[in-house]
Each structure stands twice: as C-alpha cells, then as structure tokens.
C-alpha cells in the first residue's frame, strides 16, 4: 500500500536561505510513517497499552533537491518489507511529483519494559500486508 501525506513548508522548517533544514526531512517522514500506520489500521496508542512501540533502528537518506519556504510537498510511504520485529519502509518527499529526498527506514517493534525487539504482533503484520 502506498500512502501520501501532504506537508507544507513553514518558515520554521527553513534555514536563513529559506531552504528546508536537512534534519526537518526526518520530521516530515516521521509524520508520513505515523499517518501510513494509521491509514493501515495500526493503532499505536493501543500498541503502547500492550507494552509495545516502534523505534527507528536505521535511516538511509539521500538529499536530492532543496525544498523551500511555502512549498507544498508530499511524503510518499511504501512498505518495503515486514519480518520478525522489523518493518522497512521506503519514503520519498516530493514536490509536484519530483523527488527531493529519499529514505529507507527500518523500525523495530520493541517491548517497552525490556527495550528488546519483539516480533510484530499478528494483527499488525496482517494490517501492513493488506
């Protein structure tokens, strides 16, 4: 399933040259992943109640072109794979269909009490596989 999440670049997202500050792309894709999970039917609050959470393990990022103040962007999120405790997603930040930033993000499901990897619950795996 491919999910699209709109993002507007605000002044606070930019540097002195009105170009998006590099670390803010990570914020944009975090929001995109959260909305992707929500749209798939994965309730992260319910996971927390079960003592589970997702933590970012790895981000491979490529900055391709600059985004600027007031740009209308889209974060495109697609499942790459989900196995064991890991979910890997491909994410692209686009402006008018042109890729500006690409990332491959690995998140791990962890047991919050022990902060140890925990296999993805069957209901989460089923939701992501639809």
Catalytic residue numbers read: 15
Query: What is the three-state SS of the chain?
Result: CEEEEEEECCHHHECCCCEECCCHHHHHHHHHHHHHHHHHCCCHHHHHHCCEEEEEEEEEEEECCCCECCCEEEEEEEEEEEECCEEEEEEEEEECCEEEEEEEEEEEEEECCCCEECCCCHHHHHHHHC
């Amino acid at each position: 399933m491919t999910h699209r999440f709109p993002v507007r670049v605000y002044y606070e997202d930019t540097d002195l040259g009105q170009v998006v500050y590099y670390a803010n792309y990570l914020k944009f894709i975090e929001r995109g992943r959260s909305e992707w999970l929500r749209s798939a039917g994965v309730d992260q609050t319910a996971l927390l109640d079960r003592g589970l959470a997702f933590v970012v393990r790895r981000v491979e990022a490529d900055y391709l072109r600059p985004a600027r103040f007031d740009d209308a962007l889209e974060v495109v999120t697609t499942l790459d794979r989900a196995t064991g405790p890991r979910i890997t997603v491909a994410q692209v930040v686009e402006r008018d269909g042109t890729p500006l930033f690409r990332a491959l993000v690995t998140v791990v499901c962890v047991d919050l009490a022990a902060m140890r990897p925990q296999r993805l619950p069957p209901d989460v795996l089923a939701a992501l596989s639809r």
